[in-house]
């Protein structure tokens, strides 16, 4: 009867027999004697099966009790007996905790336990092992792409657990750990301001204490600085974060991989794409060695980040090849029902793959970008940073396809939402304004484009400086608009400055540098400097063909003596 009473406080779904078997490790359980002996345990389960009150499935190794039977059993119990049985369920669930929600091999087991957490009121248990299960379940929900459920469970636990004011060291550690997981969920939801406020308050409560939770939570400092547009300070913060992670966890640890990935993002945002590629390659190789399989979701996340950095560094063909491998990896995980089609990692990759196809001159970029943007809009919300990033990719591809009206609609909305979400002075707001200006110019409105681009340039110079990549590609659009307005001398001056800066920062063979060089050759011809223009065109063509190939659309436009604009691709911050 003790086992039947216990089953009444599980959820209505299948109960893994493993939780009963591992329950023998908790001597405080009322079922300890029964669970300790395999013969007694088997007899007890068999007896329940013969009464038809419980359905035993030897194939899936589960037992299941109907919710009506559960209700009848609970109604016949005293309050003390009910509390004891409920606590036994907590201990049995904790006994079945795989312990590592980041390992996708453990996800099916966490999903089995998930259905029993709420019915048993697990977050209300005071046992430290049960609270650790609640923490791991919050992490599991976040990592499988359910941040709303993760935040909800974290909030329920925080409402029930002792506060940090209690002076209890264990309570303080548990609150810090679950707040860290809640911060991750809030970031995944795009609720950055709330996430940063919670992170700061949690770190202040443990000021000066370097432990695993404070070091992990400290990663949010770099995210907040990026969110505020201070890319240089974010780089400094994340360099210190990598050092701290290496001290606490060592180099070959998943938490250190995450910290190093953040550092690679900082390098990219500061225009150091070569360094970003180096850091991303290191993380990808280390993660692959750690997990020992190229289909692990974490390995695919870091391979995708590496492909993105390759693309920003101008290695378009290599980036597309790597992104294609990630695509196949995700499709395999989706077919095996390990990930869903709408998992955030899959959506991020979809946007990166569409951009890689665009930059490499590949096919199906528009259909993919449109599909990913629609799914982000529906699943994440219209103002989520990932939705806005997909809007920028979609807008640029629409512009490249000559669908200027559609591109203007998408980009105008994205600029407005970026300004509302990040602020009018954020570099992303200005860079998106520059992309909108490029579309205005190509749509035959150079005067309107000039007003937009001059405003964007002023903001980018103030926020990032004259030699930042974002500033320089905006100058390409500015020079094009000036040329279209019939001011070739001003276009020449701006174009020369941009080309000098791009050669310094990106190198002479980067496609953005070559686009600027090609545009400059047109202006030189307009001003009668045909000899210099011819020399520049010949050098640019050789570099274009070497880096992109003769069939690339940008090379074709260059040969047609068409002015080129450069696309702004937001890096996930």
Q: DSSP string spanning 337-405? A: TSS-TT-HHHHHHHHHHHHHHHHHT-SSHHHHHHHHHHHHHHHT-TTSHHHHHHHHHHHHHHHHTT-HH
Is residue 106 domain-resident?
Answer: no
Is residue 157 domain-resident?
Answer: no
One domain for residues 451 and 567: yes
Give the CA angle between residues 459, 464, 465 to the nearest 5°. Answer: 90
**Boundary-marking domain end, from 305, 339, 373:** 339
Closest CA to 358 of 517, 568, 499: 568
One domain for residues 453 and 333: no
Give the CA angle between residues 6, 7, 11 to the nearest 5°. Answer: 120
Q: How far apart are CA 14 and CA 288, in angstroms?
A: 34
Q: How far apart are CA 451 and CA 351, in angstroms?
A: 29
pLDDT at residue 79, rounded to an integer: 87
**Boundary-marking domain end, from 316, 339, 362:** 339
Is residue 401 domain-resident?
Answer: no
One domain for residues 335 and 457: no
State if pTM tops 0.85: yes
β-pairing verdict for 62-65 and 15-16:
antiparallel
pLDDT at residue 11, rounded to an integer: 85
Per-residue pLDDT of the chain (573 residues; tens, 9 = 90+): 677 778 788 888 888 877 777 766 666 666 666 666 677 777 777 777 677 677 887 777 877 887 787 888 788 888 888 888 888 889 889 988 999 998 889 999 999 899 999 989 999 998 889 999 999 999 999 999 999 999 999 999 999 887 766 566 777 888 889 999 999 999 999 999 999 999 998 888 776 778 888 999 999 999 999 999 999 999 999 999 999 999 999 999 999 999 999 999 999 999 999 999 999 999 999 999 999 999 999 999 999 999 999 999 999 999 999 999 999 999 999 999 999 999 999 999 999 999 999 999 988 999 999 999 999 999 999 999 999 999 999 999 999 999 999 999 999 999 999 999 999 999 999 999 999 999 999 999 999 999 999 999 999 999 999 999 999 999 999 999 999 999 999 999 999 999 999 999 999 999 999 999 999 999 999 999 999 999 999 999 999 999 999 899 999 999 999 999 998 889 888
pLDDT at residue 31, rounded to an integer: 66
Question: Residue 50 maps to which CATH number?
Answer: 1.10.10
The residue segments making up the domain with residue 506 are 444-573
Q: How far apart are CA 515 and CA 375, in angstroms?
A: 32
Q: Does residue 54 sit in helix, strand or coil? A: strand
Reported as half-sphere exposure (CB side, CA atoms, 13 A), residue 304 has a value of 26
Is residue 24 domain-resident?
Answer: yes
Closest CA to 151 of 182, 188, 187: 182
Tokens 């001597």: give the residue: 27
Give the CA angle between residues 202, 205, 207 to the nearest 5°. Answer: 105
Is residue 108 domain-resident?
Answer: no
One domain for residues 450 and 328: no
- Split into its structural domains, the chain has a count of 3
pLDDT at residue 568, rounded to an integer: 87
Whether 347 and 386 have beta carbons less than 8 Å apart is answered as: yes
Is residue 478 domain-resident?
Answer: yes
Which tokens belong to 212? 């695993």
One domain for residues 329 and 448: no
Question: Residue 240 maps to which CATH number?
Answer: 1.25.40.10
Is residue 113 domain-resident?
Answer: no
**Boundary-marking domain end, from 96, 111, 132:** 96
Enumerate residues 6+ apart whose C-beta is below 8 A from 104: 296, 297, 333, 338
Q: How far apart are CA 423 and CA 427, in angstroms?
A: 9
Q: What does residue 281 show for φ and ψ, rounded to 5 degrees?
A: -65, -40
Is residue 234 domain-resident?
Answer: yes
One domain for residues 334 and 450: no
Give the CA angle between residues 25, 26, 30 to the nearest 5°. Answer: 130
Report CA torsion sign: 360, 361, 364, 365: positive
């Amino acid at each position: 009867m003790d086992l039947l009473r216990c089953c009444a406080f599980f959820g209505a779904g299948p109960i893994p027999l493993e939780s009963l078997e591992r329950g023998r490790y908790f001597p405080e359980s009322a079922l300890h004697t029964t669970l300790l002996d395999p013969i007694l345990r088997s007899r007890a389960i068999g007896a329940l099966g013969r009464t038809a009150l419980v359905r035993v499935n030897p194939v899936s190794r589960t037992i299941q009790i109907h919710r009506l039977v559960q209700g009848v059993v609970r109604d016949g119990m005293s309050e003390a007996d009910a509390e004891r049985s409920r606590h036994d369920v907590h201990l049995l669930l904790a006994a079945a905790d795989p312990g590592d929600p980041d390992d996708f091999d453990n996800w099916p087991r966490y999903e089995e336990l998930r259905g029993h957490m709420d019915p048993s009121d697990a977050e209300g248990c005071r046992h430290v092992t049960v609270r650790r299960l609640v923490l791991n379940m919050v992490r599991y929900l976040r990592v499988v792409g359910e941040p709303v459920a993760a935040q909800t469970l974290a909030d329920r636990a925080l409402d029930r657990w002792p506060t940090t004011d209690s002076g209890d060291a264990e309570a303080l550690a548990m609150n810090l750990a679950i707040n860290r997981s809640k911060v991750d969920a809030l970031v995944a939801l795009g609720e950055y301001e709330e996430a940063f406020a919670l992170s700061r308050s949690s770190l202040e409560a443990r000021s000066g204490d370097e432990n695993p939770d404070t070091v992990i939570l400290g990663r949010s400092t770099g995210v907040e600085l990026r969110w505020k547009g201070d890319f240089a300070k974010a780089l400094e913060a994340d360099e210190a974060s990598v050092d701290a992670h290496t001290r606490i966890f060592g180099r070959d640890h998943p938490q250190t991989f995450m910290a190093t990935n953040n550092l690679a993002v900082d390098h990219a945002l500061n225009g150091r794409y070569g360094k970003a590629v180096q850091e991303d390659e290191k993380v990808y190789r280390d993660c692959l060695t750690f997990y020992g399989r190229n289909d692990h979701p974490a390995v695919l996340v870091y391979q995708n980040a590496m492909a993105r950095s390759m693309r920003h560094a101008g290695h378009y063909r290599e980036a597309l090849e790597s992104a294609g491998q990630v695509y196949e990896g995700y499709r395999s995980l989706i077919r095996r029902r390990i990930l869903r089609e709408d998992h955030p990692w899959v959506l991020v990759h979809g946007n990166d793959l569409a951009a890689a196809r665009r930059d490499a001159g590949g096919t199906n970029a528009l259909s993919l970008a449109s599909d990913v943007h629609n799914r982000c809009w529906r699943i994440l919300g219209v103002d989520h940073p990932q939705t806005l990033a997909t809007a920028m990719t979609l807008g640029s591809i629409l512009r490249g396809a000559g669908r200027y009206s559609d591109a203007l609609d998408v980009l105008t909305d994205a600029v407005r939402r970026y300004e509302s979400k990040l602020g009018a002075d954020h570099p992303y707001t200005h860079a998106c304004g520059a992309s909108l200006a490029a579309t205005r110019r190509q749509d035959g409105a150079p005067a309107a484009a000039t007003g937009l681009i001059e405003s964007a340039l002023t903001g980018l110079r103030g926020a990032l400086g004259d030699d930042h990549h974002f500033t320089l590609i905006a100058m390409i659009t500015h020079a094009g608009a000036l040329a279209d307005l019939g001011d070739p001398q001003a276009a020449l001056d701006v174009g020369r400055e941009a080309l000098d800066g791009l050669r310094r920062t990106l190198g002479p063979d980067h496609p953005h540098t070559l686009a600027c060089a090609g545009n400059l050759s047109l202006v030189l011809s307009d001003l009668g400097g045909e000899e210099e223009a011819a020399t520049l065109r010949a050098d640019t063509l050789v570099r274009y063909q070497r880096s992109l190939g003769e069939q690339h659309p940008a090379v074709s436009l260059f040969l047609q003596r068409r002015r080129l604009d450069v696309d702004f691709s937001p890096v996930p911050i």
